[in-house]
């Protein structure tokens, strides 16, 4: 599901407290970081859908059945992990394991996890 928003400009040093419960702001922050990796257009759409499925863009999304936590539902993520680290780890994982967001989303489509 794609959720259109007006792209906001965040200051360079974003504090997690400002976006902790704001899916719009967390999505905007991750989009800026994804753009820095060249993940725009279709790749951004795939990443947007993947994170929506995993956390609904909530930085504090918690999976009660595992140690997965945060935007990207990374395993063994402490609850106090700030958005900057969640984003860095999530994007690095996708790039390392799948090379790009659309490949990660295709895997999620088949297995319901990535």
Q: How much is the pTM?
A: 0.83
pLDDT of residue 2: 45
User: What's the mean pLDDT in 85-102?
Assistant: 98
pLDDT of residue 1: 45
User: What's the mean pLDDT in 57-86?
Assistant: 94
Q: Give the pLDDT confidence of 23-35 residue by residue, as tens digits.
A: 999 999 999 999 9
Q: Say if CB 70 and CB 19 are below 8 A apart.
A: no
Distance CA 105, CA 98 (A): 9
pLDDT of residue 18: 61
Q: Is 33 exposed, middle or buried (0-12, 13-18, 19+ CB in 10 A)?
A: middle
Q: Helices 23-36 & 83-98, crossing angle to 10 degrees?
A: 50
Angle at 66 between CA 25 and CA 68, to 5 degrees: 25
pLDDT of residue 22: 85
Is the pLDDT confidence value at 21 over 80?
no
pLDDT of residue 19: 63
No. of H helices and E strands in the chain? 5, 0
Say what percent of the chain tops pLDDT 90: 81
Q: Say if CB 114 and CB 104 are below 8 A apart.
A: yes
pLDDT band at 7 (very low <50, low <70, confident <90, very high): very low
pLDDT of residue 15: 52
């Amino acid at each position: 599901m794609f959720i259109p928003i007006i792209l906001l400009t965040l200051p360079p040093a974003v504090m997690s407290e400002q976006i902790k419960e704001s899916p719009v702001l967390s999505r905007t922050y991750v989009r800026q970081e994804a753009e820095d990796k060249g993940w725009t257009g279709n790749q951004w759409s795939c990443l947007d859908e993947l994170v929506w499925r995993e956390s609904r863009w909530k930085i504090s999304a918690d999976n009660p059945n595992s140690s997965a936590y945060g935007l990207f539902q990374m395993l063994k993520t402490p609850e106090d992990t700030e958005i900057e680290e969640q984003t860095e780890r999530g994007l690095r994982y996708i790039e390392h394991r799948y090379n790009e967001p659309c490949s990660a989303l295709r895997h999620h489509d088949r297995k319901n996890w990535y």
